[in-house]
A and B are shown apart, each in its own frame.
Chain A
Amino acid sequence: MSNILFDVGYEHFLVLAAVLFLIGVGGVLVRRNALIILMSVELMLNAANMTVLTFARMWGDISGHTFALMVIAVAAAEASVGLAIVVAVFRGRRNVDVDRLTTLRH
């Protein structure tokens, strides 16, 4: 009989990754705080990582793990640059609402 705790298949990981990705997308689309948008992007990246790792396990192929490490490295860099920008903007404006950061719009 199936055990919800131990009988965990690939599909569970994939569904979890999909749910995380959609949460990330939703966050990027609806939130206005730059910090939260950055976090949502991180969520999407990690959802992608999880998918890649799942398929790597499924096919027994090491290249998926390599990709995941690569993505983590890039995500770290992206997060640091993004957070630096957010901090810089906040220092200048006391505000990180993306709808109000319109100086470069026109």
Chain B
Amino acid sequence: MDISIKFWGLPLLAWIVLLPTIGATANLVFGRWLSRGAVYTIAIAAVAAAAGIAAYLVFGPLLTAFKQAPATAVIDQPVYTWIEVGKLKLDLVFRLDTLSAVMILIVTFVGLLIHIYSTGYMASDPRYAAFFGYLNLFMAAMLVLVLAGNMPVMFIGWEGVGLCSFLLIGFWYENESYATAGRKAFVVNRIGDFSFLLGMFLLFWATKDYTAGSNALDFRELAGNSQIQSTYVTSLWGGERLAAWAGIFLFIGACGKSAQIPLFVWLPDAMAGPTPVSALIHAATMVTAGVYMVVRLSFLYASSTTALAVVAAIGLVTSLAAAFMAFAQTDLKKVLAYSTVSQLGFMFVAAGTGNWVAAIFHLGTHAFFKACLFLGAGSVMHAMEHAGSHAPGDIMQMGGLRKRLPITRATFMVSCLAIAGIFPFAGFFSKDEILGGAWSVEPPGWPWWTGKVFWAGLLIAALGTAFYMWRLYFLVFGGEARSKPAGEAHESPPAMTGPLIVLAFLATIAGFIGLPHLKGVHPPAITHGLATWLEPVVSNEWNDPPPKEAKIAGGPESRLASDLAKKAPDAPCCCVPGDQAPGASAEGATTAKQCAQKPGAMCALSPTKHCVLEETSDGTTYLLMLIAFSIGGLGILLAWLFYARGPSKTVDRLVAGPLGPVYEASKHKLWFDEVYDQIIVRPFKIAARGLFEIVDRFVIDTVAVNGTAFVIGLFGRIARWVQNGQVQRYLVGIVIGAALVFLVAQWEHKATFEYEIDPSGNTVRLVADPGGGLSTLGKVEWDLDSDGRIDAVGPEITARRGDVGTVTMWIEDPISRKRISVTRVVIEKTPDSPEGSK
């Protein structure tokens, strides 16, 4: 679908990106001359306008198109041809489909709230304009990333958010450790970006022949072109499919951006940035980029269960490890940082189990409650700082703030309930979707218990989440004030509490767009809205599963519903009508018997939400929900037991005693930084030192620089002897030079002659070449036929061909009168040749 609404010659989608860019440019270039009011007006107006356009496009044209036919709900707006080299033709194309619609709404809306909040939080910062400029740039980069129609354009945004995170994390660069944190984020992200590039190149290499002359690496081409689909399953190195390698390379890139093991180490340090930045990085932008990318490429990951296994396993390990690391942190924002890492792990498990909708669902709800939590944390720290605290983030010095900061406390509690997964807050539904999906997933080639392992692991992580979040809550707001500033803190200004209230409200209700299907319960259609909405974009089918490993009741040949119905009439079946491409639109779960009533219908082995959850019975669904709910409750209960009145003595006893090593491990985030320092950073530094000594000090400084100077000096000393200012000495040089030129010119230049036989006629032209010395053009005599008589005279003669045989030429030196003779065979003559006779 093409929406050709243009504004000043540019399509509307481009304006979504352009407006924050303009805001950023204005604030970064002219900001120093603008008043604070002007700065935040520009910044907020830019984001608000982008949010307005986004909302208009999504709820206007896109929704209309979606209602007509979900598959056509795409707004495609190329801006111009970006690169055209050989088989690579790239447009700078922005595409709004149902997936990017969800993302831009989250990004622009949460981003807008964070902008508003920042006006209060950063009110007294000297580099106000730069901060808002960077924030706008961050928004622009993230919007490029989510609206990109092909991978290289996505990469622009991908790098852009990396750059902006560096700028913003190191915003207070006067502090050395903050600047280091910024650099660390950048370098770690670069490692991931490199892998992302490798994955992108691999995909281009594999698909270049099928997209030649059209959009290379375009997501729609990659997803929809059947030839390209078949290249994904061709095996590459090590017998793995191409999709596995491309997927894993790209996922390592996602690990960098979305802070997964092993590249998560930058995120906790990223707390060095101003708190609104943390909120922006953790909620709306940056860390969600990896999850978004994996879901965007769902067709690729659906082609390789190996890649999916890697994604899910890394996600699970990360969610567990990060939850563990959060237990012992005493910095308010660090706890939240590990919580983000852990929740991102949840999202990757969802993506890795083919549960794309749940990944995006959790991404959305997490954006709301995590933004609320971070902004709440910012509010708390702001209050503590203004009350005179020197360590405003230290939760051990807080306590009792529920009385001092009532609004912040209320919103924080809502968000903590949401992240702990308590009904009916948003986190309950999204986390339950992930857990339920993990429980029931059976991708081809995986053992049946894999999903159950993921489910169990995530439950433990969820328990940890509830515990450490509520530990945080009780330490900050519960009990009595443990320091003087905590007893004197005041609530933050409305610019800060306003966004908190909005976000808390969303964290409460956002879950109701993704309810599971349950028999006998018929809530309005909007409650399943997200799954329906995303269905056209995400991949609903495993791409070409290995047949013998496909676990479908009745065997792989029974995917035709009528076949399956004969063997197992009551087998659960994800029914796809026969007149559509497999996986295009599953109608919902049913039994094989019912599905077989439609002619040609297929039973898809589908990972879509309708089908997967309905395959598990309602009883199981309720049970899973109950377990998830109880786990959340259990975590809160444990936190209450230990921390309701400040840190309890039991905790101190345990830490001092049996749990000491565990506590240390958590406190030092499992020594990841130390290990990296030992195995990567230090060897790297030693190598760099060696290179510095060898290459820089020796090769460049000594040999190249000083060596050049020495050689030039040497020649200079020689030349100085000649260049002495005495004209006569120079004249000696001229005379010697002239003599040399004369000698060289005359050297071995003997007299000879050239001949030219006319190809058509019967004449031969002979030209004397007098050679060097004094014999310049003396008298020239010719004997043309070697009979001893002189036949012709003159430096240049023309003779009949028949007269010419072996020619002798004499030149007489006009001065010395010496005769020089030259003999050359011009035309070979045999005695009996007819030419020989005259």
A14, A98, A105: the one contacting B728 at CB < 8 Å is: A98
- B706-726 Cβ-contact flags toward A at 8 Å (1 or 0): 000000000000000000011
Q: A9-B815, A14-B774 are in contact. List 10 more A-B contacts (CB 8 A).
A: A11-B815, A11-B816, A14-B815, A25-B735, A28-B731, A29-B731, A29-B732, A29-B735, A98-B727, A98-B728
Residues of chain B within 8 A (CB-CB) of A9 are 815
Q: Is the CB of A29 within 8 A of B728?
A: yes
Q: Is the CB of A102 within 8 A of B725?
A: yes
Q: In this assembly, does B814 line the interface, its C-beta being within 8 Å of a C-beta of chain A?
A: yes
Instruction: Sort A-B residue pairs by CB-CB distance and give the 5 closest, nearest first.
Output: A11-B815, A105-B725, A10-B815, A29-B728, A29-B731
Q: Is the CB of B726 within 8 A of A58?
A: no
How far is it, in angstroms, between the C-alpha of A28 and the C-alpha of B735 when the chains are bound?
Answer: 11
Q: In this assembly, does A99 line the interface, its C-beta being within 8 Å of a C-beta of chain B?
A: yes
A25, A30, A58, A99: the one contacting B814 at CB < 8 Å is: A58
Instruction: Tell me the chain B residues, 373-393 only, with Cβ under 8 Å from chain A.
Output: none
How far is it, in angstroms, between the C-alpha of A10 and the C-alpha of B775 when the chains are bound?
Answer: 13
Minimum CB distance partner of B777 in chain A: A59
How far is it, in angstroms, between the C-alpha of A9 and the C-alpha of B813 when the chains are bound?
Answer: 12
18 A–B pairs (Cβ distance < 8 Å), ordered by A: A9-B815, A10-B814, A11-B815, A11-B816, A14-B774, A14-B815, A28-B731, A29-B728, A29-B731, A29-B732, A29-B735, A58-B814, A58-B815, A98-B727, A98-B728, A99-B726, A102-B725, A105-B725
Instruction: Tell me the chain A residues, 7-51 only, with Cβ under 8 Å from chain B.
Output: 9-11, 14, 25, 28-30
- A89-106 Cβ-contact flags toward B at 8 Å (1 or 0): 000000000110010010
Residues of chain A within 8 A (CB-CB) of B735 are 25, 29
Q: Is the CB of B728 within 8 A of A28?
A: yes
How far is it, in angstroms, between the C-alpha of A64 and the C-alpha of B725 when the chains are bound?
Answer: 37
Instruction: Tell me the chain B residues, 799-838 only, with Cβ under 8 Å from chain A.
Output: 814-816
Instruction: Tell me the chain B residues, 724-771 only, with Cβ under 8 Å from chain A.
Output: 725-728, 731-732, 735
Nearest-neighbour CB distance to chain A for B40, whole angstroms, equals 66
Minimum CB distance partner of A54 in chain B: B815
Nearest-neighbour CB distance to chain B for A96, whole angstroms, equals 14
**What's the interface size class on B, roughly?**
10 to 19
Nearest-neighbour CB distance to chain B for A2, whole angstroms, equals 12
Minimum CB distance partner of B814 in chain A: A58
Residues of chain A within 8 A (CB-CB) of B732 are 29
Minimum CB distance partner of A105 in chain B: B725
How many residue pairs at the A-B interface have CB separations less than 8 Å? 22
How far is it, in angstroms, between the C-alpha of A102 and the C-alpha of B727 when the chains are bound?
Answer: 11
- Interface of A toward B, CB cutoff 8 Å: 9-11, 14, 25, 28-30, 58, 98-99, 102, 105
How far is it, in angstroms, between the C-alpha of A98 and the C-alpha of B726 when the chains are bound?
Answer: 9
Residues of chain A within 8 A (CB-CB) of B731 are 28-29
Residues of chain A within 8 A (CB-CB) of B725 are 102, 105
How far is it, in angstroms, between the C-alpha of A29 and the C-alpha of B736 when the chains are bound?
Answer: 12
How far is it, in angstroms, between the C-alpha of A14 and the C-alpha of B774 when the chains are bound?
Answer: 10
How far is it, in angstroms, between the C-alpha of A99 and the C-alpha of B727 when the chains are bound?
Answer: 9
How far is it, in angstroms, between the C-alpha of A99 and the C-alpha of B729 when the chains are bound?
Answer: 11
Residues of chain B within 8 A (CB-CB) of A14 are 774, 815
Minimum CB distance partner of B738 in chain A: A25
Residues of chain A within 8 A (CB-CB) of B816 are 11
Minimum CB distance partner of A32 in chain B: B728
Nearest-neighbour CB distance to chain B for A12, whole angstroms, equals 9
Nearest-neighbour CB distance to chain B for A53, whole angstroms, equals 14
Residues of chain B within 8 A (CB-CB) of A98 are 727-728
Residues of chain B within 8 A (CB-CB) of A30 are 728
Residues of chain A within 8 A (CB-CB) of B727 are 98
How far is it, in angstroms, between the C-alpha of A59 and the C-alpha of B672 when the chains are bound?
Answer: 100
Nearest-neighbour CB distance to chain A for B60, whole angstroms, equals 83
Minimum CB distance partner of A15 in chain B: B815
Nearest-neighbour CB distance to chain B for A8, whole angstroms, equals 12
How far is it, in angstroms, between the C-alpha of A11 and the C-alpha of B814 when the chains are bound?
Answer: 9
How far is it, in angstroms, between the C-alpha of A28 and the C-alpha of B816 when the chains are bound?
Answer: 31
Residues of chain B within 8 A (CB-CB) of A29 are 728, 731-732, 735
Nearest-neighbour CB distance to chain B for A19, whole angstroms, equals 15
Residues of chain A within 8 A (CB-CB) of B728 are 28-30, 98
Residues of chain B within 8 A (CB-CB) of A58 are 814-815
Residues of chain A within 8 A (CB-CB) of B815 are 9-11, 14, 58
How far is it, in angstroms, between the C-alpha of A30 and the C-alpha of B735 when the chains are bound?
Answer: 13
Residues of chain B within 8 A (CB-CB) of A102 are 725
Nearest-neighbour CB distance to chain A for B534, whole angstroms, equals 85
- B153-192 Cβ-contact flags toward A at 8 Å (1 or 0): 0000000000000000000000000000000000000000
Minimum CB distance partner of B816 in chain A: A11
How far is it, in angstroms, between the C-alpha of A98 and the C-alpha of B731 when the chains are bound?
Answer: 14
Nearest-neighbour CB distance to chain A for B724, whole angstroms, equals 10
Residues of chain B within 8 A (CB-CB) of A99 are 726
Residues of chain B within 8 A (CB-CB) of A10 are 814-815
Nearest-neighbour CB distance to chain A for B570, whole angstroms, equals 111
Nearest-neighbour CB distance to chain B for A68, whole angstroms, equals 19
How far is it, in angstroms, between the C-alpha of A102 and the C-alpha of B732 when the chains are bound?
Answer: 19
How far is it, in angstroms, between the C-alpha of A105 and the C-alpha of B725 when the chains are bound?
Answer: 7
Residues of chain B within 8 A (CB-CB) of A11 are 815-816
Nearest-neighbour CB distance to chain B for A100, whole angstroms, equals 11
Minimum CB distance partner of B731 in chain A: A29
Minimum CB distance partner of B728 in chain A: A29
How far is it, in angstroms, between the C-alpha of A25 and the C-alpha of B815 when the chains are bound?
Answer: 24
How far is it, in angstroms, between the C-alpha of A14 and the C-alpha of B813 when the chains are bound?
Answer: 14
How far is it, in angstroms, between the C-alpha of A98 and the C-alpha of B732 when the chains are bound?
Answer: 16
